[in-house]
């Protein structure tokens, strides 16, 4: 027995040596090709790093000037050259979270319908529709927002909410039409495809014997969904939602066109606001003072950092799920 073992060990060593030299014997063109690919692929890393670096460089005067105060002061005043990012951060967060509140039930409903309920052809049609929703360019959503959504909100929805729910701070003030509510609604439609398509994949990845087990025990469809599908995939769903959040935070054009463009903090959803992305879109080419320009770059840097964190978080959740779930 020991003999066999040493023999095996010997053989393994031999083989390893053989393969190692194999690796070193790569043809020169092959090595060149590998290096070429490495350089091209590394350019992606360089690109991401330089985005951060350029923003940092451009934002430096403002960073130096205002420091951390930038994050928690709420005056955005180009005349006095005083810049606090709180209103735009607030605008971004509020519109994104509202969009999530509206979009999460919608997206999960669609994903469950497609993966659990619908007959195959109907499921395919619904998936197709959702994909087309994702394909519509942001600026077209904005156009639709200005001419269809905003007038409808101003004449129908906001007066209604104001009359019957006006005691809540969210539904007070004059109905502008364009504003936080319009931005959140448009965002909700725009992030629904992202969340629902990822959630659908996650629901599909739930092994079918989970479902069969539940059905065999006499569960209704809904009980089957609740007990075997949802409970097995909630962390993946969380990942999908976070990815949707990442998308909402950075969305620019549609939001810029309907949010109302005033850097102000108000609880009312009717009032105009400004998001991080929209303030850059509105003011960057037009900023005159150097500090104003740097402050906008700093907003860009902040937006970059926030989406980076949110998306890497989502990636972590989804990755962990993949390794835990094993190969499917």
Partner 1 sequence: MITGHLTPFLEARDTRRRVSNLVACGTLTFLSGVAIGALFLVFGYVLYRGFPAINWAFFIETPRPVGEVGGGLANAMVGSLIILLLASLLGIPWGILTGVYLSEYGRGRLGSAVRFCSDMLSSVPSIVIGLFAYALLVVPMKHFSALAGSVALAVMMVPTIARSTEELLRLVPNHIREAGLALGVPRWKVILLIVLRGNLSAILTGVMLAIARASGETAPLLFTALNSRFLSWRVDQPIASLPVQIYTYAIAPFDDWHRQAWGGALVLVVFVFSLNLLARSVIRPKMTRD
Partner 2 sequence: MRLLMLFLAGFLASSSWGAQVVTGAGATFPYPLYSKWFAEYGKLNPNVQINYQSIGSGGGIRQLLDKTIDFGASDSPMTDEQLGKASGPIVHIPTAMGAVVLIYNLAGSTNLKLSSDVLADVFLGTIKKWNDPRILALNPGLAQTSDIFVVHRSDGSGTTGIFSDYMAKVSSDWKTKVGSGTALNWPTGLGGKGNEGVTGLVKQTPGSIGYVELIYAESNKLSFFALKNKAGQFVTPTLKSVTAAAAGLKEVPDDLRFSITDSDGAGSYPISGATYILVYKTMPDSAKAASIVSFLKWALKDGQKMAAELLYAPLPSSLVKKVQKKVETIEVKRAG
**CB 264 → partner 2: shortest distance, Å?**
8
Q: Three-state SS for 33?
A: helix
**CB 4 → partner 1: shortest distance, Å?**
30
Pick the stretch among 64-72, 166-174, 263-271, 301-309 that binds partner 1 (CB under 8 A). Answer: 301-309
DSSP code of residue 170:
G
Residues of span 63-122 touching partner 1 by CB under 8 A? 105-106, 109-110, 112-114, 116-118
Residues of span 262-281 touching partner 1 by CB under 8 A? 277, 280-281
For residue 215, the partner it binds in partner 1, partner 2, none, with Cβ less than 5 to 8 A by kind, is none
Among 16, 17, 75, 129, binds partner 1 (CB under 8 A): 129
Q: How many helices (H) and strands (E) does the chain have?
A: 15, 2
**CB 165 → partner 1: shortest distance, Å?**
22
Kind and range of the H or E run holding 77: strand 76-77
Query: For residues 142 and 258, is the Cβ–Cβ distance under 8 A?
Result: yes
Encoded one letter per residue, x for contact with partner 1 by CB under 8 A and - for no contact, window 4-33 reads ----------------------xx-xx-xx
Q: Three-state SS for 260?
A: strand
Angle at which helices 180-205 and 86-112 cross, to 10°? 40
Nearer of residues 140 and 216 to partner 1, judged by Cβ: 140
Give the 3-state secondary structure percentages of the chain, helix then strand then coil, rounded to 5.
80, 0, 20
Nearer of residues 130 and 161 to partner 1, judged by Cβ: 130
Among 150, 237, 241, 296, binds partner 2 (CB under 8 A): 150
Q: How far apart, in whole angstroms, are the C-alpha atoms of residue 98 and residue 154?
A: 18
DSSP code of residue 273:
B
Q: How far apart, in whole angstroms, are the C-alpha atoms of residue 220 and residue 237?
A: 22
For residue 48, the partner it binds in partner 2, partner 1, none, with Cβ less than 5 to 8 A by kind, is partner 1
For residue 196, the partner it binds in partner 2, partner 1, none, with Cβ less than 5 to 8 A by kind, is partner 1
Nearer of residues 76 and 203 to partner 2, judged by Cβ: 76
Closest among 284, 276, 274 to 310, alpha carbons compared: 276
Residues of span 250-279 touching partner 2 by CB under 8 A? 260-262, 272, 274
Closest among 238, 235, 228, 223 to 206, alpha carbons compared: 228
Residue 166 engages partner 2 in binding (rule: CB under 8 A): no
Residues of span 178-237 touching partner 2 by CB under 8 A? 178-179
Residue 231 engages partner 1 in binding (rule: CB under 8 A): no
Residue 54 engages partner 2 in binding (rule: CB under 8 A): no
Residue 70 engages partner 2 in binding (rule: CB under 8 A): no
Query: For residues 90 and 75, is the Cβ–Cβ distance under 8 A?
Result: no
Query: For residues 250 and 307, is the Cβ–Cβ distance under 8 A?
Result: yes
Beta bridge partners of 260: 273
Q: Say if residue 72 is exposed, middle or buried (CB neighbours under 10 Å; 0-12, 13-18, 19+).
A: exposed
Nearer of residues 180 and 302 to partner 2, judged by Cβ: 180
For residue 316, the partner it binds in partner 1, partner 2, none, with Cβ less than 5 to 8 A by kind, is none
- Paired tokens of 46: 């360089």
Q: By the criterion CB under 8 A, which residues form the site for partner 2?
A: 75-80, 82, 146, 150-151, 154, 174, 176-179, 260-262, 272, 274, 282-283, 285-288, 290, 292-293
């Amino acid at each position: 027995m020991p003999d066999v073992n040493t023999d095996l060990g010997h053989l393994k060593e031999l083989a390893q040596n053989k393969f190692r030299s194999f690796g070193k014997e790569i043809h020169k063109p092959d090595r060149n090709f590998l290096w070429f690919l490495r350089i091209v692929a590394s350019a992606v890393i360089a690109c991401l790093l330089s985005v951060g670096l350029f923003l940092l460089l451009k934002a430096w005067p403002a960073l130096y000037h205002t420091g951390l105060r930038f994050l928690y002061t709420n005056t955005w005043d180009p005349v006095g050259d005083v810049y606090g990012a709180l209103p735009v951060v607030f605008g971004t967060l509020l519109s994104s979270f509202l969009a999530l509140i509206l979009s999460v039930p919608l997206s999960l409903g669609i994903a469950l319908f497609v993966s659990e309920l619908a007959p195959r052809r109907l499921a395919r049609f619904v998936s197709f529709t959702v994909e087309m929703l994702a394909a519509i360019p942001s600026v077209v959503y904005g156009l639709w927002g200005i001419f269809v959504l905003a007038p409808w909100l101003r004449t129908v929805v906001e007066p209604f909410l104001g009359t019957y729910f006006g005691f809540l701070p969210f539904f007070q003030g004059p109905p502008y039409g364009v504003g936080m509510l319009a931005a959140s609604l448009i965002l909700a439609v725009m992030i629904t495809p992202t969340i629902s398509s990822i959630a659908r994949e996650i629901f599909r990845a739930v092994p079918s014997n989970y479902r069969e087990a539940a059905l065999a025990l006499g569960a209704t469809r809904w009980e089957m969904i609740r007990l075997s599908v949802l409970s097995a995939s909630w962390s993946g769903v969380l990942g999908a939602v976070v990815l949707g959040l990442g998308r909402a935070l950075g969305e620019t054009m549609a939001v810029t066109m309907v949010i109302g463009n005033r850097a102000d903090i108000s609880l009312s959803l009717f009032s105009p606001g400004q998001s991080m992305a929209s303030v850059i879109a509105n003011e960057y080419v037009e900023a005159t003072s150097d500090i104003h320009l740097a402050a906008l770059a700093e907003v860009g840097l902040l937006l970059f950092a926030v989406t980076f964190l949110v998306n890497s978080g989502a990636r972590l959740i989804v990755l962990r799920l993949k390794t835990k779930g094993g190969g499917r």
